[in-house]
Amino acid sequence: MVEADTPGITLNAEEKKMGIKGSSTRQVFFNDVKIPVENLLYEREKGFKIAVNILNIGRIKLCGGVMGGAKASITESVQYANEREQFNTPISSFGAIQAKLAEQCIRTFACESATYRATQNIEDNIQSLMESGMEKGEATLKGIEEFAPECAILKVIGSEVLDYVVDEGVQIHGGMGYSAEKNIERSYRDSRINRIFEGTNEINRMLTVSMILRKAQKGEIDLLGPAKNIAKELMSIPDFGNSNGTPFSNEIKIIKNFKKALLMVAGSAVKKFNDKLGEQQEVLMNIADMINTIYLCESTLLRILKVSQNKLSDQFDAQK
């Protein structure tokens, strides 16, 4: 830990920014700064592990934070759409505006579902490691580190969902959305930084794929086996069977097929580029978009299934 008044530290003036103007942003210079040994975090020469995990925590917290911003912007959009009239009719009654409001809600709900899922998985993982005898601090580090790909996914989808929501919020407000009189103008400016800090979205997309491939190389997850099975399946007679009639069976099947498509694309990319895949940034970005979309869709479906089961359970209890 470096105290602000440590000799050798100098600060530049506050920077003038597009948004988040209430926050402090200054350049920090270190000139022969000496840090007492008691200020050491974690272990000597292992500070990078702390720094990386701080990024993981920051990424998942960013997603949780922007969900609040998205909901606030949706509320403002709905209020304005109900108040603003064209041809003696509130614009909220027009299909084009309704579609924008609906899409704002859909994307926010999906992203929130993914956030709930990942945070619960991380919490369960930390608890499991502690129960196995691991010290709390180490369990927290390892528990979060194992879900680093999910943290990167959430950072990307969260920041881009908020960007979509505030952008459509400005559009719903029309000319007033461009005026500093309305909160949506500030929300639009404040949102933009989220795609840059905690690692740009481009970096996080490529990180997601590289971390998953690294897990596969270590044998922590099996990608090659399922990819080969998909290749065999493509050469066989396709299954045109209908759904089995269970709730959301079609949606479950769609997500399974989406995963198959991802494995097929990722497998082909690994086969074609081999150890040079890391240099194919456009390919990595597209694979990451597939991963992000699948994670969003599956998380949303899992949440809906859980809500549906809870409702059925409540109905059963009421009948007792």
Contact 145, 123 (CB under 8 A): no
Q: Would residue 198 show up in a list of annotated catalytic residues for this protein?
A: yes
Q: Which helix (H) or strand (E) holds 31?
A: none
Alpha-carbon gap, residue 87 to 97, rounded angstroms: 15
Task: Write the CB contacts of 40 (distance below 8 Å, at least 6 apart in sequence).
Answer: none
Handedness of CA 278, 160, 50, 14 (dihedral sign): positive
Tell me which amino acid residue 240 is.
Answer: F
d(CA 88, CA 178): 23
d(CA 155, CA 58): 9
Q: Quick check: helix, strand or coil at residue 319?
A: helix
CB 184 within 8 A of CB 173: yes
The span from the CA of 121 to the CA of 147, in Å, is 8
CB atoms within 10 A of CB 223: 17
Q: Residue 290: is it exposed, middle or buried by C-beta count within 10 angstroms (0-12/13-18/19+)? A: middle
Q: Given the residues 112, 185, 198, 298, select the one marked as catalytic.
A: 198
For residue 281, give every residue at least 6 positions away whose Cβ sits within 8 Å of its Cβ, in sequence order, or none. Answer: 202, 206
Catalytic positions, please? Answer: 198
